[in-house]
Amino acid sequence: MTDNPRWRQPLRVWAMTFDDWLASAEPKDILGLQVFFDFRTVAGDKSLAQELRRRIDARLALEPPFLLHYAQYALQYKIPRPGGRVLNMKDAMMPVVNFARLYAFKHGIPETHTLDRLRALLDIGVIRPSLHEEAGQVYDQLMGLRLAHQAHRVEQGLPPDNELETAKLTHLEDTLLRQALSQMGNLQKKISFDFLGSA
């Protein structure tokens, strides 16, 4: 993305960009926040990223309508069904990622990794230990299958991708996949209850 001049902007422009995204309910703005909300410093002046994060947290503390729209977006995301010939593992993980990101938005959690966000949500009492354990297991199981698939492709001299051929899974892998996908409904039920007032 650093090759694109659109994303090489000063702090002032980035602050306005996030303000616009948070004030909007447009799908393209939700996508923008999904891509860029998890920013972190890898080089340069760390204070710039810290100041941008501070401004975003202040805006999110005002409970913008965006939170409701993002919750609705997360609930519209269809949990993949096991048994298909090919499963995109990046897509399969999105319900967990969206869950952790949504509550990070709401509670001003600075962590950018899904598991770190889940731990922070547990620490402040937003999620129960049982839900934290379940969400973490789902994430770990799906990530493990994803990485094993990518490593196998590299061993074959192929570029890594996220397209898992489920027919090639072992019985144990297939069981873990089905178990992980079946548990995602609990995450969406909590979103529905907390943001829409229904279970």
Which sequence spans correspond to the domains of the chain?
1-64, 80-199
pLDDT of residue 88: 93
Cα separations in angstroms, 11 against 7, 52, 111, 192? 11, 7, 20, 35
**Percent of the chain whose predicted confidence (pLDDT) is above 70:** 97
- The confidence score (pLDDT) of residue 152 equals 93
* pLDDT score, position 60: 84
How much is the pLDDT for 120? 97
User: What pLDDT does residue 22 have?
Assistant: 84
pLDDT confidence tier of residue 199, bands split at 50, 70 and 90: low
CB neighbour list of residue 144: distance below 8 Å, 6 or more residues apart:
176
Strand pairing partners for 164?
Answer: 87
Structure confidence at residue 10 (pLDDT): 93
Pick the CATH number of 80-199 from 3.30.70, 1.20.120, 1.10.10, 1.20.140: 1.20.120
Q: Name the pLDDT band for 161 (thresholds 50, 70, 90).
A: very high
Ranges of H-type helices in the chain: 11-23, 27-36, 46-60, 66-76, 89-107, 114-123, 129-155, 171-196
Tens digits of per-residue pLDDT, 51-110?
999 998 888 888 778 888 889 989 988 888 777 789 999 999 999 999 999 999 899 888
Q: What pLDDT was estimated at residue 198?
A: 66
Mean pLDDT of the chain: 89
